[in-house]
Structure 1
């Protein structure tokens, strides 16, 4: 799975949706402005329509009166003069023309009013759809934003699993190289020497030099015993039997005893609290962390003394490794760990974090070093 590509796709999708949301929001604002303008225009048209209707009603009444007046003056030529008849006729004609214009204006205003009302309904539908889309986009964004941390954690978890898998492979390869070196430098050399010595003994026996052959057999027996001891040490490093049979503390005692004999660095183990058996996986992890810590002391510290402190608490185990070596600047080591270049401390920290614990490193140039690890004990996972 291309985790980085998936991460980019999700982030790009959120960015596009955010941009689209604001574009739709701008459309909504534009539609609202148009609706407001249409409402204002409709209000004006309705007011003008009302005024025009009132004028039409008034002019109809005046037009009827003008027709009545024209009829009166047209029937009584004796009483009204020609000028009176012409004036009545002109008034009636003028009223008729204005009334026709007002009726035409009324029809136009009503048509305009109906058109504006239809447009407002269409705008309302558009605004409703746009607001619905904005609401849906907000819901999706809220869902994505709410779950993005979880998605990011899953992506980071996938990345971490891949990195941890690679580191496990590298650790396995390093362990294989170490075992190969130990077998090559120890057991293989011993066995090769045994073969050579047996050939010497064979020649001596052929020459009837029994006493010399016996001496060679004694030396050969010593070398075979030494080879057996080497094999036992290799087996112990692969999986200490005492760890399964007796527990963490006896396995650590045996380890630091062998460490002192091999490296000539004085060692000490201090226990505090009530010793108890821990889950098998936790005991193995703590044992490996201590192994790595002592290996770091041998490789880097130039120390003459190293102390292991193991403190049992009710819900936590504290492991501390102190040495009197040359020390170092913690900030520089932290940078190396962050860059993945200090594999010893990095491997220790990863093991501790896998156990949901935390590791602290204290040191200064010329003042030795102290590595403390706090590992929680989960009661539900403890073996009965």
Structure 2
């Protein structure tokens, strides 16, 4: 432990020394920036004044040329002195205009150069301030408790892993929706287009009975597509959750599940049914949805029962199936290694709700998943 303290002490001294050196560099850069900014302001003001003078000289030079042209054409009205005076005036304005145009160009170049230098110095100051800030964080870590540093690092790592898992879950959901649309709705709509073209040709050939049959079949396919769209929307966000609550939504979901998969389903509601916070209702629905999906994918079950018990301060969810079962310890180990995202995702969702999930299963004896979730108004 003493060696670790010495390492931390030496590292802290090196960081502090480097921090003050960077701070001095930052202060020097700030001074240079202020000086450059003051010069830039002066150059910009002088540039504006010079531009105004150039505009005025251009107007005066234009008028003097017009005057020179007038006196040069009419020798009866104007004498040689008038022509000479007009010529000298035009030449004078031209020389001044040339000088001030050159001055304007030089000032603009100087202004652009100063702006670039100010921008570069600003970046240096910003980088130096960032490094100083990072070193302050490092100093706080090194001067704090080593265990606290370890906990902070582990917490950051866990947050990153959780973020990655959320991204993976989102991508899996997108893939599932894409498959549903491609395999179901997209194929049906393509078939509808084809059948409508056939009906159009038959109509042109005046085969009215056949056209009628095609249109009847076409109407049935459109109704099927509409039902498929409604199922996809329901899976994305069951609107019945907001309107009717958790129990009616789950009742519809398991009925649709039974109709689609031919797996016998049963829903038992125990206790006094009550509306839960919105966030908790959608979380419980997703947990049930994932559980039923696991049953369909892995259990080969012919029946599954969902039991929800409403208590005063807790909701108990139990999903039981008569499938082939599995080795819980082995599957939990695979989930911890990241090889079973469904089970791992369910457990993390329950933990985010400050609940507990237990799994009971054995090969050939089905599976029982129990989840206890405390009711909290803060879940909304």
Query: What's the TM-score once normalised by structure 2's chain length?
Result: 0.63
CA contact (8 A) 2:355 2:374 kept: yes
Q: CA deviation at 1:381?
A: 2.1
Q: CA deviation at 1:288?
A: 0.6
Listed as ranges, the matches of 1:326-337 within 5 Å are 326-337=324-335
What does residue 190 of structure 1 align with?
A: 188
CA radius of gyration, larger in: 1
Looking at structure 2, the residues matched to 344 and 311 of structure 1 have their Cα atoms a distance apart, in angstroms, of 24
Looking at structure 1, the residues matched to 197 and 327 of structure 2 have their Cα atoms a distance apart, in angstroms, of 56
Q: 1:225 to 1:17 in 2, by over 3 A?
A: closer
Q: 1:15 to 1:162 in 2, by over 3 A?
A: farther
Q: 1:14 to 1:207 in 2, by over 3 A?
A: farther
Please give the per-residue CA displacement for 1:14-69, whole angstroms capped at 9, x wherever unaligned: 4635999xxxxxxxxxxxxxxxxxxxxxxxxxxxxxxxxxxxxxxxxxxxxxxxxx
Q: CA deviation at 1:329?
A: 1.2
CA contact (8 A) 1:278 1:382 kept: no
Is 2:368 the counterpart of 1:370?
Answer: yes
Alignment counterpart, residue 267 of structure 2, candidates 266, 269, 286: 269
What does residue 231 of structure 2 align with?
A: 233
Please give the per-residue CA displacement for 1:207-248, whole angstroms capped at 9, x wherever unaligned: 001111011000000000000000000000000011111111
DSSP-derived class of the 2:319 partner: strand
Please give the per-residue CA displacement for 1:276-323, whole angstroms capped at 9, x wherever unaligned: 111111111111111110011001101001000101111111111110
Q: 1:14 to 1:221 in 2, by over 3 A?
A: farther
CA contact (8 A) 2:280 2:379 kept: no
Alignment counterpart, residue 378 of structure 2, candidates 367, 381, 384: 381
CA contact (8 A) 2:267 2:305 kept: yes
Listed as ranges, the matches of 1:253-292 within 5 Å are 253-292=251-290
Aligned length: 252
Listed as ranges, the matches of 1:1-384 within 5 Å are 14=5, 16=7, 144-145=144-145, 148-378=146-376, 380-381=377-378
Q: Which runs of 5+ in 1 are unaligned?
A: 1-9, 21-139
Q: CA deviation at 1:153?
A: 3.4
Looking at structure 1, the residues matched to 194 and 357 of structure 2 have their Cα atoms a distance apart, in angstroms, of 50
Q: 1:246 to 1:15 in 2, by over 3 A?
A: farther
Q: CA deviation at 1:373?
A: 0.6
| Aligned alpha-carbon RMSD (Å) | 2.5
Looking at structure 1, the residues matched to 314 and 337 of structure 2 have their Cα atoms a distance apart, in angstroms, of 30
What does residue 82 of structure 1 align with?
A: none
Q: 1:300 to 1:12 in 2, by over 3 A?
A: farther
Q: 1:310 to 1:155 in 2, by over 3 A?
A: same
DSSP-derived class of the 1:362 partner: strand
Please give the per-residue CA displacement for 1:149-184, whole angstroms capped at 9, x wherever unaligned: 544333222112111111111111111111111001
DSSP-derived class of the 1:296 partner: helix
Q: CA deviation at 1:199?
A: 0.2
CA contact (8 A) 2:264 2:302 kept: yes
Looking at structure 1, the residues matched to 257 and 3 of structure 2 have their Cα atoms a distance apart, in angstroms, of 55
Q: CA deviation at 1:274?
A: 1.1
Q: 1:239 to 1:332 in 2, by over 3 A?
A: same
